[in-house]
Structure 1
Amino acid sequence: MQNTPRDPARPPVSRRGFLVGSGLAGAAGLAAANGLGSAPAVADPLSGTAAAGPGAAAHAAQSVASTGHTGRWRPDTTSPRFTLAVMPDTQYMFDGAAVDEAPMRASLEYVVREQSRHNTVFLVHLGDLTQNGAASEMQAAGSVFDVLDRAGAPYSVLAGNHDIDSSTDDQRGRTPYLDVFGPQRFRRSPSWIGSSPDGYNSAHRFTAGGREWIVLALDWHTSAGGLAWASSVLAARPHTPVILTTHTLVDSDPTGGAAFDAYGQQLWDAFIAQHDQVFLTLNGHYWGPGRTTKQNAAGHDVELHLTNYQNRYYGGAAMIRLYHVDLERNVIDVETLSPFLLGGGLDDTNELAAQELRLSGDVDRFTMAVDFDARFAGFAPVAPRASRPAASMLVPGTLAYWRFDGNADGAALASSTRVRDQSGHGNDLLVAARTGAVAGALRWSNAHHPDQPGAGSLVLQGGKPGGQHLQTLDAAPINAEHFRGGYTIEAFFSLPTTFDPSANGFSALLSQYSSAGQVGKARSSDGDPDEPAVTLSLSGDRELQWCVYPASQDGSLTNWGHELPLGQWWHVAVVNDRSHTVMYVDGCPVVRNPSTRNRGLSTVGKPWLLGGYRYGGVLDQVFVGSIGDVRIVGRALEPGEFMIA
């Protein structure tokens, strides 16, 4: 970051002496005109091999000796939750004779020490490591980064305008920055991909969430040749998401938003917008923090974040940002803190330090939503899970298994349609002969839960007045089953965004034709003799309800789920182990599972209804939504045996 104060009379792109004259197209010519054509031999663009420059061999040997042998850096590369650590401008801690390594050392030691807790996978520095780019300053900063080298922690650095001659681009040749932080420092790291021939642009990789990610660290001003090299890195890994780091790209506004500076606009137009793999950019240089979202040429969002705290007390005290990525929740949670100040590096009585321990403003601590599958679909689409043969779903004890694939999408079921029980036990489903059902109330669909075995579903429409449902044959063996050996009942389903709580509430996915009174239950005040003896329903609040009258007691027993968002697919499983009943949603147990001991279900040989709910001897509700595969097993299954597994 340049030290020139703000001049409100100038437009934002000109503030703080920002260099606007060196465009990307003319960068190489500028370097040649200034005699900067000779650069040290560095890494091959993709192989990562490098010839060390003068003085580099000793450092490389030291790095090899101290990297990857402590065993302290062990990220869980399969976990859907991981963290990227970000360190912006640290220049005021390395300014001539004013050198204080302690803040940076505290931050790096924190990242290593807390690696397991945060599942940290990588650290990026955003440039301006030093104030003047002097050899002594670079060597001091480089010695602190040995903290990461000794732990085997992967990281990237890049040159900011204070680390080199700010009037040059990446063709500037040898500098103290390159001597300390050039390719020779990284070439033996497993995270190293390579550098541009000049050594100032580098590419790194890490594995997290079961996939590879790229960190592309670009110079203060990357030449056209540097961008061509960067394009070659992405072309060699076309399915890998990319986090791009550079020293300057966007500047903040007073609201915490951000906009391109002149160089940033060029970098966006020439490179970022053209590469859909780049979904997040991180830069420093300006203060204070800000962020914005832009759409690239593919029409996809790119998050652009400015992070810099050097203007705050103690030069920002090597403050770091932690980007906590959660692939399951589809969010990135961001927090900002100073390990040096949190650790009492300036004494607990320092009032100014106390204000900087953790930053909690909207620009420093926030959550951003990223639908990772959708965002990466353009270059790394998630292959749909292949359908599985019905025979592979017939686990021991399977009593009935219905699926709805293999039919014309959108076609209506005829009144004579028969859905075969895939278990072979003869528990086939028929369209109920319901008076008042509207035409097309039952339709086939190719839509289904992504982890469903069968690639199809049944769409139920019409609701209470004109809806239709299926039911088992009158002589189906499962009608007389009492499940005294336990049971597992599973179903895939989806609720439409038009779900009406008053009209569609307490409709059933699966229920028994017989009522509690008909099976001899609800004789006391605990229960309702007119409600189904067994029902898997959805309340008006879209809470799953397994309400049954066990054979072991007179009254009802209910397991309750939680409110389910509309417009997406779900899997429910209800498991009884001959002692207790547990409900699972998408393989996860719900909270309201009663501790009451119970066994078996009360039935009197009447059909099971798919999508129907009878009350007081008449059809009362018809499910509105989609139902996928349904399986009934006469024993308790473990979650790893569910159809969703």
Structure 2
Amino acid sequence: MSMKKVLLLLSAFVGASQYAVHAGEGQFTVAVIPDTQYYTDFRHQTDAGFPFDARELFFDQMRYIAANAQSAGGDIAFATALGDVWQHPSERMPAEYAAKGYKHIESFLTSLPQIHPDERVKTIEMPTARQGYELIAGKLPFSVVPGNHDYDANWADSRYVPGQKPEFPFGMLAYGGLKNWASVFGAQTPFFKDKRWYVASYKEGVDSAQIFEAGGYRFLHIGLEMAPADDVLQWAESVIKRYPGVPTIISTHDHLNPAGERRPISAVDFHAVDPSHNNPEAVWEKFLSKNDQIFLMLSAHQYGQSRRVDLNQYGHKVYQIMSDYQGRRQSFVNAAPGRSNEQETVGDGWMRLMKFDLSGPKPHIQVQTISTYFKSTASKLPTYAVFYKAAEKPKASDADFIAADEFTLDLDDFTSRFASARVKDAKKGK
């Protein structure tokens, strides 16, 4: 190994020590796990000819969370995973959608290897996902929501012929069926059954709610399926009403795009296929803006990172944050430099730590983006912009690119807004 590589690795290792800290009074961390589909993908393991087992990057993320959970003496009070846990569907179209008259056509999208149905999702990818979450089970409360890749089926809707309209050059993908999902992350699985912090579920656990206490407050978290229909939003609102005054975090797979707009990818807009499903803007209008307890919305799905703040109907801030690192591939380049012309993406172990500090007169969240592969935060990795800026934000300066992943949210109205949710003794996750 060259001296230059040694120095880079040493710098990354030093940076790693700065994001593993113990919580002070009023301080705690929420771990945010974006799309892990390329880690669990059966094509990205050595058995399939990949240069390393990508699942190990996923396992390292989960080991980090377990080692830094409050129950282990760390500061992570809760973890939320934002969907696309695995990669492949197991069927082309669910019977219930065929019965409704939906028809499938072959298109460029359905020819993609990550879209084509494969039974190895059941024998490799789903067991890998289960194994990963077993590493944090019993260590802290957590939530997992389904992304479009986690559905049983993906098909190309026959009403959207590729090239027929400029806005649909590749056609339109639809997704449906969550039997596979419920078998791993449903309400009756060992992950959640009889857990005191798992307080509500809908549709067998496709949508779910958790309670945790940290930083002197009680928090409610609700995980929603992608493009939730009105009945899902009504269920979520009923859960909020059961916990009046409790600060509420929402997680879903798709909400913001990389420009910070509430807009889905044109080729994966389930509202266009089935109008009973709400697009992100409708979710804002019907649900987020109308429920004053919601202060934070987390999503992934679309490559990159973005954020926005909007006032709800009560004049209070709702922070909306998107992060998705599945398009990153430096780990592949490092492992197989002779194959660097291939477009294999993995994720490089990047995820988010949202470090709350509610102890002083200015409550805030410090957002850090960390990699368990590089053992560093974004701001401490000297080559961060070199590795990723060109593909994600080519027009940004290096400083601005890093600032999109390392920033502070000022919760200036949190103390007055949620005074009734204070608890005398914050219990650590069980």
TM-score tier after normalising by the smaller chain length: 0.5 to 0.7
Residue in 1 that maps onto 2:375 = 342
The residue aligned with 2:350 is 319
Give the 3 Å change call, closer, same or farther, for CA 382–178 of structure 1 in structure 2. Answer: closer
C-alpha contact 2:188 2:204 (8 A) present in aligned 1:
no
Structure 2 counterpart of 1:368, from 409, 412, 415: 409
- What CA distance in whole angstroms lies between the structure 1 residues aligned with 2:327 and 2:257? 14
Does the Cα contact within 8 Å between 2:209 and 2:222 map onto a contact in 1? yes
CA displacement 1:512-571 (0-9 Å, x = unmatched): xxxxxxxxxxxxxxxxxxxxxxxxxxxxxxxxxxxxxxxxxxxxxxxxxxxxxxxxxxxx
Shift of 1:187: 1.9
Match of 2:203 in 1: 197
SS at match of 1:252: coil
Report the counterpart of residue 175 of structure 1 in structure 2. 179
List alignment gaps of at least 5 residues for structure 1: 1-74, 344-350, 384-645
For the structure 1 residues 270 and 198, does the alpha-carbon distance in structure 2 shift closer, same or farther, using more than 3 Å as the test? farther
Distance 1:216 1:239, change over 3 A: same
Structure 1 position 97 matched with structure 2 position 43: yes
Paired with 2:384 and 2:38, the residues of 1 have a C-alpha distance of 17
Q: What is aligned with 1:210?
A: 216
Larger radius of gyration, structure 1 or 2?
Answer: 1
> Does residue 158 of the first structure (1) align with residue 162 of the second (2)?
no
Displacement of 1:199: 2.5
Aligned residues: 293
C-alpha separation in 2, matches of 1:233 and 1:342: 38
Q: 1:242 aligned to 2:248?
A: yes
Q: 1:337 to 1:184 in 2, by over 3 A?
A: same
Aligned to 1:330: 363
Structure 1, residues 448-498: CA drift from partner, whole Å, max 9, x if none? xxxxxxxxxxxxxxxxxxxxxxxxxxxxxxxxxxxxxxxxxxxxxxxxxxx
| 2:313 corresponding residue in structure 1 | 297
SS at match of 2:374: helix
* C-alpha deviation, 1:109, in angstroms: 0.8
Give the structure-1-normalised TM-score.
Answer: 0.42
Q: Give RMSD over aligned pairs.
A: 3.0
Q: Between the two proteins, what is the percent identity of the paired residues?
A: 28
**Aligned partners of 2:81 and 2:149: how far apart in 1?**
14
State the AA in 1 paired with 2:88: N
Which structure 2 residues correspond to residues 40-55 of structure 1 after superposition, within 5 A?
none
2:127 maps to 1:139 = yes
Q: Which has the higher contact order (CA 8 A, sep 6+)?
A: 2
Partner SS, residue 110 of structure 1: helix
| Alignment partners' CA distance in 2, 1:294 and 1:198 | 32
Match of 1:259 among 261, 267, 273: 261
AA of the residue aligned to 2:281: Q
- Partner SS for 2:195: coil
Counterparts in 2 of 1:210 and 1:374: CA distance versus 1, 3 Å: closer
Native 8 Å contact 1:373 1:381 kept in 2:
no
Quote how far apart the aligned CAs of 1:354 are.
9.6
Q: Tell me what 1:643 maps to.
A: none
Greater percentage in helix: 2
What do residues 373-416 of structure 1 show as CA deviations (whole Å, max 9, x unaligned)? 45625x84889xxxxxxxxxxxxxxxxxxxxxxxxxxxxxxxxx
One-letter identity of the residue aligned with 1:115 = A
Cα deviation for residue 211 of structure 1 reads 2.1
Deviation at 1:317, TM superposition (A): 2.5
Equivalent pair of 2:365/2:410 in contact (CA under 8 Å): yes
Tell me which residue corresponds to 1:121.
77
Structure 1 residue 239, shift from structure 2 partner = 1.3
SS of the residue 1:97 aligns to: helix
Q: Distance in 2 between matches of 1:294 and 1:174?
A: 32
SS of match in other structure, 1:321: strand
How far the C-alpha of 1:372 sits from its partner, in A, is 4.5
- What letter matches 1:261 in structure 2? R
> Larger % of strand: which?
1
Q: How far apart are 1:221 and its partner, in Å?
A: 2.3
Tell me the residue number matched to 1:222.
228
Deviation sequence 1:264-298 (CA, Å, 0-9, x none): 10111111111111101000011210001111111
Aligned-partner SS, 1:282: strand
Q: Mind listing any 5+ residue stretches in structure 2 that lack a counterpart? A: 1-21, 46-53, 90-120, 158-173, 265-278, 332-345, 377-382, 389-398, 424-430
Distance change in 2, residues 1:184/1:224 (3 Å) = same
Q: CA deviation at 1:96?
A: 3.2
Could you tell me which residue of structure 2 aligns to residue 440 of structure 1?
A: none
Name the CA shift for 1:172/1:320 in 2 (closer, same or farther; >3 Å): same
Structure-2 residue corresponding to 1:402 = none
* Residue 110 (structure 2) aligns with: none
Partners of 2:126 and 2:184 within 8 A in 1:
yes
Letter matched to residue 157 of structure 1 = V
Q: Deviations over 1:592-641 (max 9, x none)?
A: xxxxxxxxxxxxxxxxxxxxxxxxxxxxxxxxxxxxxxxxxxxxxxxxxx
Q: Map of 1:345-494 to 2, 5 A cutoff?
A: 355=387, 361-374=402-415, 376-377=417-418, 380=420
Q: Secondary structure at 1:105's aligned position in 2? A: helix
- Indicate the SS of the match to 1:367: strand
**Does the CA contact (< 8 Å) of 1:187 and 1:194 recur in 2?**
no
| Change in CA separation of 1:193 and 1:271 when aligned onto 2, cut-off 3 Å | same
* Matched-pair contact (CA < 8 Å) for 2:40–2:58: no
Q: What secondary structure is seen at the aligned counterpart in 2 of 1:265?
A: helix
Matching residue's letter, 2:218: E
1:107 & 1:143 partners in 2: Cα distance? 12
